[in-house]
Structure 1
Amino acid sequence: MDDDLIDEAGIPRSRYTRLPGKGFFYPDSLDEERAERLAKEAIEGSEAVVIADGDADGLACTAMIREAYDAALDVADFEAAIEARLAANDDEAGDEADGDAGEKEVDAPTAESAEADSTADAHARSPVGLVAAGPYSLDSSLERVLAYADDDVDLFVCDLCPDEYEWIAEPLEALAETTASIRWFDHHQWDDETAAAVRDLGVDLVVGESDEECTADVALRSLDHEFDDRWTELAAVTRDHDLWIKEDPRSDDLADYSYWAGGEEYATVVGAYGADLPETVAAFVADRRVEKEARIDAAVGRAVTHGVGEWTVAVTYGRCSQNEVAETLRGEGADAAVIVKPAGSASIRGSEDFRHAHEVAGKVNGGGHPQAAGCKPDIYDDMLDYAHHWTTEGQACKRVILAAFEAVAEEVAADEAADETTEAEATAAPDADE
């Protein structure tokens, strides 16, 4: 493929925001080879390994675990790398992490970029190895730890929840036999059977209330270490964004930086500075936000509203920051927002009047929280399907997600009707003492 076809330079924003990032066009087979190599280098010889979601919450947990093990990397190396990026006027804009899929739209790596980055081998430096994962790659991450970790390693899993126990059962059961310990910190909504199966293996599974704690809160109170106030503040600011409380402006900085930086960089910087990012990082985030805001405006401009049951659902398309887009659409009167991404996934965001996002996502190959969920409908068989997706702004994806909204609306209406019938029958029933 001609590199110019996927190079955003000189292409109108109205066109390139309809397409996935360059990483989408990097073959999975090569990406898997690279991921396997990086995981092997991070895991081999480590005292402990952390499998964590690559967002601000999962990486904050990683920073805490490294602090507890006295295994943090030198932040000065990363600050120098950031300054070099700024000096080079690197104007390639990133997207906000699609936390629902646990994946980032990143550019394919090049030998030149690796050689130019003095922190390129950072993943192999700490005695607490980091394996960034998403809910759909948890099984392969566990398999890599099983393949490359020393016996008696301490294993941590953070901010990840398996949809079903069966698809992680084999590697997790094997790891339960070989590791010194497995500790699992999370705040998502776990199925009772899955949680019981994990705990039956001897895994120390701690799940916080999903509407009260983020996983950083859970890790902070669960790790046997005396953390100072900086870490308590980091957990609070992480929670502010992760639970969409939005009372601390620093939480947006952390969320954006966790996406635009690599996992090693973010964990090291917040481990050193906490929620107050240093000046160099603040300049980097501000530079990236110019493009981010423009993409938000483009996505909001494409939104179309639909009436589904008693709800107003706004649906849009584009490469953008889904949380900010959803917040804007809610401000314009939507009860729920759907942001369909060029890569084929979609984010579903609710409100006080809509707490069924996870139910909608569950009907189209996804899941999540009542007010924040993600999915990727199983509708893409070949590149022609993706071509149709891009040229129609996700028409097929929008259609199946709206059908899921309709199905959930019918279920909610039926449940409400049943409750009213039960209440009426209870009211009409004669008093047993009469």
Structure 2
Amino acid sequence: MDDALISSRDLPIARKSVIPGTGFFLPDDVDDELEAKAAQAALEGADVAVVADADADGLACVALLREAYDDVQVVPEPDDADETESDEDEAESDDEPGPDDPLEAIDEIDPSPHRVALLPASPHDVEESLEHVAEYGRPGIDCYVCDLCPDRYEYVEEELEALLETADSVSWYDHHQWGEDVAAAVREAGVDLVVGDSEEECTADVALRSLEYDFDERFATLAAVTRDHDLWLREDPRSDDLADYAYWTDPAEYVEVVREYGVDLPEWVGDFLTERRVEKQALIDRAIGRSELREIGEYTVGITYGRCSQNEVAEAMREQGADASVIVKPAGSASIRGTDAFQRCHEVAGRVNGGGHPKAAGCKPDIYDDMLDYAQHWTTRGAVTKRVIIDAFEAVLETEPEPAADA
């Protein structure tokens, strides 16, 4: 296939808004091989492994751990950062094309200088990262899992068992809504699991208070500002900078920059964000422009489609009167955002292959059997996915609210 057909770098916004990024089209075996080689390089000589969500919250935990373990700092210079392109691991958020030949990138991965290795993961592939630590980590390694929550214990059971045979200790820090049976099984396996109150803490808060290290005020501020965005409090304007920077840059770069500068990012990062936000706002405007409001039971639900920053789009629909918002992505997944009026997002997502918080959740309905289904998804702007999620809303509203998870 011609690389230009799957590259979205030079597409006009109108087209970029409705199709997935380049990473979506990479075959799984190529993607898996790249991830395995990257994990092997990161873990070579490492004393600690951190499997973390590659957003600002998960990466803040990595910065805390590297500080606590007095790991080497590799702070990028502006010129180096300009040359770095974001990998953006999740296919639905991959705005940049991959290498012309992805297999060539395997030979370009150098061993990491860090004793605290970073393995970026998502809720959909946390078990693969655990398997990589078990396979490539040295015997006796310490492992931390941050800002990730398995929906079912059996999803990670075998990989966690293998990891515990390799690792000297496994600690798991999170703030999502854990099922009591899942949490109990993880702890029974031998993991030190600490789950914070999802209404009060982000995972960086949990790591900050759980690690036996006297962090200076810079890191307490990092956790607080990260929480401001992760819990969608929107009281500190610096939190948007952290979230956007984590989203657009390479995870390794983000960790080193916030460890060095804290929340007061250097000028060259500000210039980078300003440039990227022009396109970000254009994608937001496209998604808002195709949004609609639907009455489901006693609630007003906003629903739209597009590659965009879902939080800003959800906020716009809330201002239009939505009690809850659904943003369907070109890659087939969807983000569900609630308000004080609607706090059952995790229940809705749970009915369509997902989960999350009462006010913020994600899912990917299991409705895509072949590329023709995806073609229909793109050309109809997610019509089937929207219908499935609306049905989930209706089903949830016919039941009593679930009791709050015991954190």
TM-score normalized by the length of structure 2? 0.93
Verify the 8 A CA contact 2:49 2:116 in the aligned structure 1.
Answer: yes
1:51-96 deviation per Cα after TM superposition (whole angstroms, max 9, x unaligned): 0001000000001001111114320x353312446xxxx9xxx89x
1:205 maps to what in 2? 193
2:328 corresponds in structure 1 to 340
8 Å Cα contact 1:54/1:102 also seen in 2: no
Alignment of 1:14-413 (within 5 A): 14-75=14-75, 77-84=76-83, 104-110=93-99, 124-412=112-400
From the superposition, tell whether residues 304 and 280 of structure 1 become closer, same or farther in structure 2 (CA, over 3 Å): same
* Shift in alpha-carbon separation, 1:60–1:386, aligned structure 2, 3 A: same
Looking at structure 2, the residues matched to 139 and 9 of structure 1 have their Cα atoms a distance apart, in angstroms, of 31
Identity of aligned residues (%): 57
RMSD: 2.4
Once residues 21 and 112 of structure 1 are traced to their aligned partners in structure 2, the CA distance between those partners, rounded to angstroms, is 16
Matches within 5 A, 1:410-421: 410-412=398-400
How far residue 121 of structure 1 moved from its aligned partner, in angstroms, is 5.1
The alpha carbon displacement at 1:178 in A equals 2.9
Aligned partners of 2:270 and 2:192: how far apart in 1? 37
Larger Rg: 1
Could you say what secondary structure the match of 1:353 adopts?
Answer: coil
The SS at the match of 1:370 is: coil
**Following the alignment from structure 1 to structure 2, what is the Cα–Cα distance between the partners of residues 122 and 69?**
22
Displacement of 1:393 in angstroms is 0.2
Change in CA separation of 1:123 and 1:279 when aligned onto 2, cut-off 3 Å: farther
- Does the Cα contact within 8 Å between 1:83 and 1:280 map onto a contact in 2? no
User: Once the two structures are superposed, what CA deviation does each residue of 1:118-150 show, in whole Å capped at 9, x if it has no partner?
Assistant: xx7576221111111111111111111111111
Structure 1 gaps, min length 5:
416-434
Does structure 1 retain, via aligned residues, the 8 Å contact 2:306–2:329?
yes
Secondary structure of the corresponding residue to residue 51 of structure 1? strand
Residues 123 and 129, structure 1, Cα contact 8 Å, conserved in 2: no
Q: Which residue of 2 aligns with 1:426?
A: none
Contact 2:8 2:95 in 1 (8 A): no
Pick closer, same or farther for the CA change 1:291–1:147 going to 2, 3 Å: same
CA distance in 1 between partners of 2:91 and 2:213 (Å): 28
C-alpha contact (below 8 Å) 1:313/1:336 kept by paired residues:
yes
CA distance in 1, matches of 2:95, 2:72: 25
Verify the 8 A CA contact 1:48 1:154 in the aligned structure 2. yes
Q: Is the 8 A contact 1:123 1:130 kept in 2?
A: no
After superposition, the Cα gap between the structure-2 partners of 1:10 and 1:84, relative to the gap in structure 1 and judged at 3 Å, is closer
Amino acid at match of 1:73: Q
Query: What letter corresponds to residue 351 of structure 1 in structure 2?
Result: T
What is the Cα deviation at residue 281 of structure 1? 0.8
Letter in 2 for 1:71: D
CA distance in 2, matches of 1:315, 1:251: 25
Contact 1:304 1:315 in 2 (8 A): yes
Aligned-partner Cα distance in 2 for 1:18–1:182:
41
Which one-letter code corresponds to 2:353 in the other structure? N
- Alignment deviations for residues 397-416 of structure 1 (CA, whole Å, 9 cap, x no partner): 00100000111111149x9x
Q: Could you tell me how far apart the structure 2 residues matched to 1:31 and 1:254 are?
A: 27
Q: 374-383 vs 2-11, which deviates more?
A: 2-11
Count of aligned pairs: 400
**Distance in 1 separating the partners of 2:243 and 2:154:** 32
Q: Contact (CA 8 Å) 2:246, 2:254: kept in 1 or not? A: yes
- Identify if the C-alpha distance between structure 1 residues 27 and 316 changes in structure 2 by more than 3 Å, giving closer, same or farther: same
Residues 123 and 240 from structure 1, CA distance in 2 versus in 1: closer, same or farther, beyond 3 angstroms?
farther
- Give TM-score scaled by structure 1 length: 0.87
Contact 1:184 1:205 in 2 (8 A): yes
Given that 2:57 and 2:226 are in contact with CA atoms closer than 8 Å, whether structure 1 keeps it comes out as yes
- The aligned residue for residue 405 of structure 2 is none
Please give the alpha-carbon distance, in whole angstroms, between the structure 2 residues aligned to 1:10 and 1:239.
34
Superposed displacement of residue 198, structure 1: 1.3
- Partner residue, 1:427: none
Counterpart residue type for residue 392 of structure 1: T
